[in-house]
Amino acid sequence: MLSLLSSLTAMPAVPTSEVLHPANLSWAGFILWMPLVSLVLCGLCAACKVKSKAPATITVICLGTSFLLTLVLWNGYTQPETILLFDWLQIHWDGGSFVANFALYVDSLTLLWMLFVTGLGTLIAVYASEYMEHDVGKGYTRFFAGVSVFLFAMTCLVMGDNLLMLYLGWEGVGFASYWLIGYFYQKPSAVAAAKKAFIVNRIGDVGLALAIYLIWSTFGTVQYDEITTVLQSEAYDASFGGWTVHAIPYLLMLAAFGKSAQLPLYVWLPDAMEGPTPVSALIHAATMVTAGVYLIIRTYPLFMLDDYALPTVAWVGGLTALLAATIAMAQYDIKRIMAYSTISQLGYMFLGLGVVTSYGAAYHVFTHAFFKAVLFLTCGAIMHGFAGQLDLRRLSGLRKMKGWKIVSYTMLVGCLCLAGFPFTSGYFSKDAILAEAFVTQGPGFEVLGWLAIFTAGLTAYYTFRVWFRVCAGPVHFEPGDELHGEDTSSFHPHAPRFAINFVLIVIALGALLAALPYFVPNETENLHGGWVAEMVHDSPARDGVPGVIVDGGQAEAHGTINYEIGHGDILGIDPHKAMYYISAIVGFIGIGFALFFHLYCRSAADKLRGKLLASRATRWLPTAMEHKWYVDEIYIATIRSPLWILGKIFSLFDRYFIDGALVNGIAGLPRVLARWFAPLHNGAIQSYAISMIGGAVLITLLMLFMPEIVEFLQSLSEQNASTEQVVATLGGGK
């Protein structure tokens, strides 16, 4: 605390980099502590039953402080630093040690992540202060406490210097997500969704825990820099570690798939839309779901150790993207569509990681955070204003309504970025990924690339389906389910006010401006990709940055990499250049379809659907897409039902065998024994007398003849001993 004050007073008006470096950066710990302070103060508000918007103010101030500190940190950044906050786990014994301190590892990758996490966190807290105003006094404080917990955990995850702090943050964000999805806990569907999110995440967490253990047992440490040191040391060769180094990437992958909603474990994300919209925007679009991507980028060198780890990531990502896009095309709830769109875009990021462009994935994370946040927030504003109406069949022409213009146009910005319209941020980030799919040679990557391009077209279609239906066309609206008894005919939509509009504008601007970093010139030689590439380069994931030369020597130093990097092409043309045009064309095709079916001729969409349903050959397509390819039902049938039956069997076993036979049986023993002896208590004095005297006589006999009895027993045991001796001699003499 004193050091912070001294550094603040000593700060002159000159660039701060000269002051802060190499001075101690322990004030950076406040980035972590501010959300915690906010949590404590919100707890106090809850205890004092505060009925105003004070919790929102507290949270915004604390998160804003975190953001400012991040900016200061970024400003003064020159090289990776470790900032020790306090000693946490220090377990040493003969032959080993487990050290995991509460320390912050600040390199450029961390800063990249922290910038948009804290920035979006603050903005969404401001948005939520107006959005959640219906609940002031009822759950308002709980909401902001949840947001604070979430940001503390996310900061821990991103800024920790060892895998244990990452795990702490991982579990923390999982918990915060559960708490916030279940915010409307009186609704059974919300509670079920919260449980589903937590449980599906847990499956991934198992992978993470096992991976951390294997990493510790293979490398002897869980700190990132020490792992890198081991990997780069001279003693490292292809046979290092045995089977564990091949298992580690798959376990980490499992964890990332759980948290970032990829193919087998994505089912929780659509249901998580039961939570309030700011939660969906913050957690399930911008920050928490990128934790999986962050994990893989952080441990990128470990993924290079197995031949098929990265291709697996790529294929899973690509298939997820395709699947989610097809489902999104057939949904009617706009928040659900956005959720599936998130899953699809996350699939893109994993695809990028798999085709060894960590730069592309990180850039897509950055841009996606902005435009997906703005899309969710506009959906929230619509929900807020139309009493919960989210069905795109019942809303239309919003941009012509008074007070809804900002919402409509910021949504347009978001849709353009998502669809990859030329010269938006999403265009550049998606191109980086798509191009690399053709550049890197790997198992089936070309097919994957064409699938990804097709998915981009689908993305453009369903995104503009939403916009053309909701914001364009004739004005029509119906109130939703949260009308609370008002008359339907006299319903007036509730236009958003300052806080919501302000935040929407800021984030939309951010989405547009996120294209700019692409054009920032690179300082490091041979690097291209702009500012993001710079940020990623200074981290262990630098192998995925375009322009980094990975020659044979370096590849061998890092383990086995069996696929060549950087020599493919598409249709004979260099992929990067070709992709500019291909993705633009595909995007326009998608937007064109959306324009036709959902603006000019809306009935054509219903007729097409009817024709598909009528014909037996194609009936399955719309029904399957509308029912999300029955994935949830498959899970219930294959996993949940057997477990349910097993649980019933065990409960019967527990009730009849363990409770009945063992516990009650043993408890019944004294009763049975007592029944044997109960007749002794028969009230007849003479029988009591017989018992007494008989006992006394027997005891006296025993005492009188005790010496003889002892002699007899001794003679018996002597007889036994002699028998044993005889047997032994007999056996030995055989």
Cβ-Cβ contacts under 8 Å for 614 (sequence gap 6 or more): none
CB of 664 to another protein, least distance (A): 23
The smaller minimum CB distance to another protein, of residues 199 and 693, is found at 693
* Of 484-492, 635-643, 686-694, 712-720: span binding another protein (CB under 8 A): 686-694
**Would you count residue 682 as binding another protein (CB under 8 A)?**
yes
The smaller minimum CB distance to another protein, of residues 601 and 698, is found at 698
Using CB under 8 A, which of 663, 704, 713, 721 touches another protein? 704
The smaller minimum CB distance to another protein, of residues 643 and 697, is found at 697
CB of 690 to another protein, least distance (A): 6
- How do strand 395-396 and strand 96-106 relate by DSSP bridges? unpaired
CB of 206 to another protein, least distance (A): 58
Rg over CA atoms, the chain:
34
The smaller minimum CB distance to another protein, of residues 636 and 697, is found at 697
CB of 662 to another protein, least distance (A): 29
**Would you count residue 687 as binding another protein (CB under 8 A)?**
yes
Between CA 362 and CA 13 the distance in angstroms is: 34
Binding to another protein in span 127-186, by CB under 8 A? none
* Of 381-389, 534-542, 629-637, 699-707: span binding another protein (CB under 8 A): 699-707
CB of 685 to another protein, least distance (A): 6
- How do strand 395-396 and strand 476-477 relate by DSSP bridges? antiparallel
**Would you count residue 681 as binding another protein (CB under 8 A)?**
yes
CB of 696 to another protein, least distance (A): 9
**Would you count residue 700 as binding another protein (CB under 8 A)?**
yes
Using CB under 8 A, which of 9, 186, 488, 686 touches another protein? 686
**Would you count residue 702 as binding another protein (CB under 8 A)?**
no
Site size toward another protein (CB under 8 A) is 17
* Of 133-141, 202-210, 234-242, 692-700: span binding another protein (CB under 8 A): 692-700
**CB 295, CB 166: distance < 8 Å:** yes
CB of 182 to another protein, least distance (A): 57
**Would you count residue 206 as binding another protein (CB under 8 A)?**
no
**Would you count residue 235 as binding another protein (CB under 8 A)?**
no
CB of 668 to another protein, least distance (A): 18
B/e letters for 43-55, b = 16+ CB within 10 Å, e = fewer, are: eebbeeebeebbb
Q: What does the block give as tokens for 730?
A: 């007999």
Specify which residues 215 forms β-bridges with.
Answer: none
**Would you count residue 697 as binding another protein (CB under 8 A)?**
yes
> SS3 for 522?
coil
Backbone angles phi, psi at 131, to 5 degrees: -65, -40
Query: Of the candidates 300, 262, 192, which has an alpha carbon nearest to the alpha carbon of residue 543?
Result: 300
**Would you count residue 694 as binding another protein (CB under 8 A)?**
yes
Between CA 380 and CA 397 the distance in angstroms is: 17
* Of 154-162, 331-339, 612-620, 680-688: span binding another protein (CB under 8 A): 680-688
CB of 640 to another protein, least distance (A): 54
Backbone angles phi, psi at 157, to 5 degrees: -60, -45
The smaller minimum CB distance to another protein, of residues 620 and 712, is found at 712
Between CA 189 and CA 175 the distance in angstroms is: 18
B/e letters for 395-432, b = 16+ CB within 10 Å, e = fewer, are: bbbbbebeebebbbbbbbbbbbbbbbbeebbbbbbbbb
Angle at which helix 291-298 crosses helix 140-159, to 10 degrees, equals 10
The smaller minimum CB distance to another protein, of residues 243 and 677, is found at 677
Specify which residues 105 forms β-bridges with.
Answer: 82
**Would you count residue 734 as binding another protein (CB under 8 A)?**
no
Amino acid at 218: T
**CB 421, CB 589: distance < 8 Å:** no
* Of 133-141, 214-222, 689-697, 723-731: span binding another protein (CB under 8 A): 689-697
**Would you count residue 690 as binding another protein (CB under 8 A)?**
yes
**CB 402, CB 493: distance < 8 Å:** no
The smaller minimum CB distance to another protein, of residues 681 and 734, is found at 681
Between CA 508 and CA 370 the distance in angstroms is: 7
Between CA 551 and CA 548 the distance in angstroms is: 9
**CB 67, CB 119: distance < 8 Å:** yes
CB of 689 to another protein, least distance (A): 6
**Would you count residue 637 as binding another protein (CB under 8 A)?**
no
Q: What does the block give as tokens for 210?
A: 């096992």
Q: What does the block give as tokens for 344?
A: 């699809």
The smaller minimum CB distance to another protein, of residues 8 and 684, is found at 684
The smaller minimum CB distance to another protein, of residues 704 and 721, is found at 704
From residue 326, give the alpha-carbon distance in Å to each of 25, 624, 716: 48, 10, 89
* Of 171-179, 397-405, 507-515, 684-692: span binding another protein (CB under 8 A): 684-692
**Would you count residue 673 as binding another protein (CB under 8 A)?**
no
CB of 718 to another protein, least distance (A): 24
Query: Of the candidates 290, 219, 289, which has an alpha carbon nearest to the alpha carbon of residue 248?
Result: 219
SS3 content of the chain, % helix, strand, coil (to 5): 70, 5, 25
**Would you count residue 706 as binding another protein (CB under 8 A)?**
no
In the complex, the residues that contact another protein under the rule CB under 8 A are: 678, 681-687, 689-690, 693-694, 697-698, 700-701, 704
